[in-house]
Structure 1
Amino acid sequence: MSSLELIASLLGVIAVWLTVRQNPWCWPIGLGMVSLYAWFFFDARLYSQVLLHSVFAAMQLYGWWAWTRGAAGEHGRPVTGASPREVAIGIACAVLGSLLLGSAMASFTEAAFPWIDATLTAFSLLAQLWMALKRLQCWALWIVVDVLFVAFFSYQGYWLTAGLYALFTGLAVMGLREWRMARVATR
């Protein structure tokens, strides 16, 4: 366990907890977390994770903007549900992204686990986009992705990061419950 992994993990817990609470400070704290994890994953040769966390950095900025600008007369963006069409398109894009990124990583890098890493990356990007848009479905997808990340990082011996993703799974369950209540309250 490195100090880099420890600090990134602590920032991650804070950021996800704030996200569950719909606190827009989750975004700048999350920016710190994803920046540190990009560095950590580069050292681990998990290049899809480096790419993921680099894109997450841009999405952190977008999420902060989207959550704080709000619509006229509203305080921030409300929780909404994605339509079945939006879900289908999102999943199709994530599958395609998994195939393209996995192929690129397998062909052009010495990535440790190109296909698994690419798949988790693509579906994480979809979950993060839905989170920035405050789509309720983000939490269900995060639960699935986080459980898979626990196994992925455990297999590699990154126990602190695996533990972080186990905690993220629990926070995602809380997020799903709290955002569902928030959505009902705004109807």
Structure 2
Amino acid sequence: MSLAEFLQPLQQPLFTVLETPVSWTEFLGFGSGALCVWLVARQHMANWPIGIANNVFFILLFTQAGLYADAGLQVVFITLAVYGWWAWTHGGGPGSAVLPVRRTTRTEWTWLLAAGVVGTLALTVLLDRATDSTVAFWDALTTALSLMATYGQCRKRVESWWLWIAADVVYIPLYAYKELYLTSLLYVGFMTLCVLGLRNWSRDVSARQPDAVGVSA
């Protein structure tokens, strides 16, 4: 059996939303994605394996929808998930077995924003010239924002939630435009969970004052 034949059942319609078929791939991506963000907000370690499963479903879904940067982004997410899984359990430094929540330093913001701008521009050009993408800039922008947010998530930086919220503001209409209505709805839920995560992580930092106050570098 070929890979295409093996994956074909996941591409079959499960139900319809606004007269548009929703595949098993999109449905499973919806469920695993919502569970993953909820677990991140609670700082639960299980978010990492659930997130990796979510990335696999989204690779299939976004490739079918022509969102090539988002599909490629999932591969990067899997790599970062492995790193984040390790960092959450081993990245606390001497005397700490668990990585604490902290605020993003000015140095981190500087290189994150620079990388985000360069990444968005480079991906826009690449997608415009090398693919048939009809949303090259928006696909590139959400990719850059998501990578910035994922770095912050891996390092437990409170502001990573703001980056996810910014990405979701673009993702919601983008996926609706691509007729991925269930995924668009999922990202509305993601935004709500991001607000919950921001509140929980901010409280965690406040509870650890004055130690957890981000030190500007």
Give the TM-score normalised by structure 1: 0.96
- Structure with greater helix share of residues: 1
RMSD: 1.1
Partner of 1:133: 155
**1:150 maps onto 2:172 in alignment:** yes
Cα distance in 1 between the residues matched to 2:93 and 2:208: 14
What CA deviation, in whole Å up to 9, does each residue of 1:49-106 have, x standing for no partner? 1111110111111111111124333241000111123112211210110000110111
* Runs of 5+ consecutive residues of structure 1 not aligned to the other structure: none
**Would you say how many aligned residue pairs link Structure 1 and Structure 2?**
187
Of residues 183, 195, 208, the one that matches 1:161 is: 183
Partner of 2:58: 37
Between 70-79 and 40-49, the greater mean CA deviation after superposition:
70-79
Cα distance in 2 between the residues matched to 1:93 and 1:68: 27
- Structure with greater strand share of residues: 2
**1:123 maps onto 2:171 in alignment:** no
Matches within 5 A, 1:162-181: 162-181=184-203
Letter paired with 2:190: F
Say if 2:88 and 2:98, in contact at 8 Å, map to a contact too. Answer: yes
Between 79-88 and 122-131, the greater mean CA deviation after superposition:
79-88
Between 62-71 and 177-186, the greater mean CA deviation after superposition:
62-71
Runs of 4+ in 1 over 4 A off after TM superposition: none
* Runs of 5+ consecutive residues of structure 2 not aligned to the other structure: 1-21, 210-217
Give the TM-score normalised by structure 2: 0.83
Q: Percent same amino acid at aligned positions?
A: 35
Cα distance in 2 between the residues matched to 1:31 and 1:40: 14
What CA deviation, in whole Å up to 9, does each residue of 1:95-121 have, x standing for no partner? 110000110111111123111101110
